[in-house]
Amino acid sequence: MEKTCKKIGVLTSGGDAPGMNCAIRAVTRLAIQKGLQVVGIYNGYDGLLKENFKELKERDVSSIMNHGGTMLYTSRSDRFKSTEGLEQAAEICRRHEIDGIVTIGGDGTFRGAADLVEHGVPCIGVPGTIDNDIAVTDATIGFDTAMSTVVELVDKIRDTCESHARCNVVEVMGRRAGDIAISSAIATGATAAVVREYRFDEDVLFEKMRKAKKNGKRNFIIIVSEGKGKHFGEALAEQIEAATGINSNFAKFAHVQRGGSPTLADRVLATRMGAAAVEELLAGNAKRVIALQNTKIVSVDIAESQLADAIMKNTATPEMFEKFSPEVIERCKARVAEVEAKKKQLYDLVDIMSL
């Protein structure tokens, strides 16, 4: 079906993530090599509605790989979600002869892409979010960099905790997912990762800290995922101090985690995924999500990816299940079970490794 696709769009939407620029570059460079025209859609779906377009040539994506953020900018658009907005977006694509769009972002971006597909515009989703909360992929673009930032910051905090014999509770991002908290807790030797996914017994933690303190341990790091709710971390720091006598501080890393130069892993992942998205459009595929599964780049139907996400996030409704065959439902459940088992294994390691 090569050549039925002549012009493609590329946009980034939702929260930015380090590595998005590498994906934009990969989409642009491969598409140009394949003889396609590339339209950069600025400011996400909002920019699509405002026809905020600029043709991207090879040199327009030079020297952007090492920059965090997204050169195409990003937004969260409410107008796009309405039927009127979607119809208008599809009409704009037809008028500009855009044959398909690579949409880079998280689950909100994929919802937008799925809706746009329904209105006749082929879309390929590339998972770009620091949260790592897209069930069908082993890793999302930006996750590795965000964790590296957390590790760098925690290492610094630990130095001063050691000098002063203190504890520091730190809150990391991830929305409802505890992935950043769990892996960075392993990588920093934190005493605990406290995440929404698993029950947390503060008395067990306090006892562990009291014992370790008696045993000569001076620094304590507790990594809390933002999914635990507002002010949870601050309150926990106070409780720790009251229960253990260890002077405790709280730090929220917030948007620092979303910036900075992407790691090698994110640059390579984004390049592979961006290129794969163009291949999908060239193959005539209209509604896929690019994913990393067991080191391979694959693609999954957008609706199936959304079902897997809903199962993982416990938001799947009976009406959702009705739209899928038993095989697809089974495949999604198996995928989620695999992701959850891997996460639990990592979570258990945090505890085992910290004494």
Binding site for ligand F6P (CB under 6 A): 15, 106, 129-131, 173-175, 226, 258
> Taking the complex as a whole, how short is the minimal distance between the CB of residue 172 and ligand F6P, in angstroms?
8
> Taking the complex as a whole, how short is the minimal distance between the CB of residue 77 and ligand F6P, in angstroms?
13
- CB nearer ligand F6P, residue 173 or residue 246: 173
Quote the tokens at residue 60.
């327009």
| C-alpha 2 chain-centroid distance | 31
List b or e across 31-64, with b for residues whose CB sees 16 or more CB atoms inside 10 angstroms: bbeeebbbbbbbbbbbbbbeebbeebeeeebeeb
Q: Which of 99, 107, 131, 179 is catalytic?
A: 131
> Taking the complex as a whole, how short is the minimal distance between the CB of residue 206 and ligand F6P, in angstroms?
28
- CB nearer ligand F6P, residue 143 or residue 220: 143
- CB nearer ligand F6P, residue 106 or residue 233: 106
> Taking the complex as a whole, how short is the minimal distance between the CB of residue 125 and ligand F6P, in angstroms?
15
244 near 129, Cβ under 8 Å? no
Q: How many residues does the chain have?
A: 355
- CB nearer ligand F6P, residue 208 or residue 343: 343
The number of CA neighbours under 13 Å toward the Cβ of 79 is 11
Residue 16 designated active-site: no
Spatial separation of the C-alpha atoms in residues 349 and 344, rounded to whole Å = 9
- CB nearer ligand F6P, residue 176 or residue 210: 176
> Taking the complex as a whole, how short is the minimal distance between the CB of residue 91 and ligand F6P, in angstroms?
29
- Please report, in angstroms and rounded to a whole number, the separation of the first and last CA atoms in the chain: 59
Quote the tokens at residue 158.
């630990």
107: number of Cβ within 10 Å? 21
Q: Which residues form the catalytic set?
A: 131
